[in-house]
Amino acid sequence: MLNRLSQQRYSLLNVDVVELTSNWSYRGIISPYTRIYYIGAGLGQLSDATGNIKLEKGYIYLVPSYTMCDMLCKDKLTQYYVQFFDDLETGSSLFQNIKSIAKVSASDLDFQLFQRLIEINPERGITKSYDPKTYENELFYNDCQQKNLRQNSSTFYETLGIIQQLSSRFLNFETHHTRPQSVQSSNMVDTVTYILKHLDSDLSVSSLAARVDQNVDYFSRQFKKHTGIRPLNFLVQKRIERAQYMMATTALNYTEIALHLRFDNLSYFSKTFKKITGLSPGTYKKQIYLAEFSVRV
């Protein structure tokens, strides 16, 4: 089963249809996975470094991984969505050369594909909050992966096929519609990607600023402008999220995890972990054990 997943390009996270209201309003969203939307009714808006894109009936939309965007619904919006990783096999996204949100006319088949994807993947919607900043973490990704592992072969391969069909609708977008992206936005997207891929490396704000040829103060202001959080806080937060994932999926002890993620000592790691998660590492580990035990029984 694990080999089956590792050999495939796509990995489903969520799929569902939702009725959004004005509460759907988020800024500075940058995710390591790809989104595709189909709009059934209503109006909304996505914004990226190139401008505003209207969400409207009759179109499907692609938000490539690591594309920084704002999301807005002023009234009501019926949105079909699928979120997925598309870089498992090669280490690079199928859409890596598409640097902005894509919009193409929808077909009847697109609608039918979304309906079928939801039908064969029930209860795979986002349930707690539609704010990506509240659920985007390693545990969320691992939970979705575990659900994929529990799919039977028929559902697994049909899911991959549908995602591939929907993805293919945007493969001409790079050639014909790619819009320019600001240098600053491109630098910040590159920085976020670099951080997420090197959480176990010796990173500092000064080294990150040097990568994009900026002084530390200017870099920090630009990073916060584009992400809503200072670079050091972002780095620490993502390291704690990675620690949560490692606690759930490996046999490493707390000291080994702390050292792997470049925390100076176990005491600092424990204090930081509790500050961000609200739980000590020990309490968090017990919760994981109890959750796993309840699933087994």
In the chain, domain spans: 2-177, 183-296
Which residue bears the tokens 């973490």?
137
Report CA-CA distances (Å) from 55 to 105, 124, 136, 185, 275: 11, 23, 23, 22, 38
Domain 2-177 superfamily per CATH: Jelly Rolls (2.60.120.10)
How far separated are the first and last CA of the chain, in Å rounded? 22
Over pLDDT 70: what percentage of the chain?
85
pTM of the entire structure? 0.66
Give me the amino acid identity at 139. L
Query: How high is the pLDDT of residue 27?
Result: 86
What's the rounded mean pLDDT across residues 182-194?
76
Report the candidate in 37, 66, 76, 32 with the shortest Cα–Cα distance to residue 53.
Answer: 37
pLDDT at 274 over 80: yes
- Total residue length of the chain: 297
pLDDT tens track for 227-245 = 778 999 999 988 988 888 7
Q: Is the dihedral of CA 193, 199, 202, 204 positive or negative?
A: positive
Report CA-CA distances (Å) from 100 to 44, 179, 217: 17, 7, 27
What is the fold, at CATH topology level, of the domain defined by 183-296?
Arc Repressor Mutant, subunit A (1.10.10)
Q: How far apart are CA 163 and CA 148, in angstroms?
A: 14
Dihedral of CA atoms 173, 196, 29, 113 in degrees, nearest 10, equals 50
CB-CB contact of 126 with 31 (8 Å): no
* Choice among 48-62, 184-198, 211-225 with the minimum mean pLDDT: 184-198
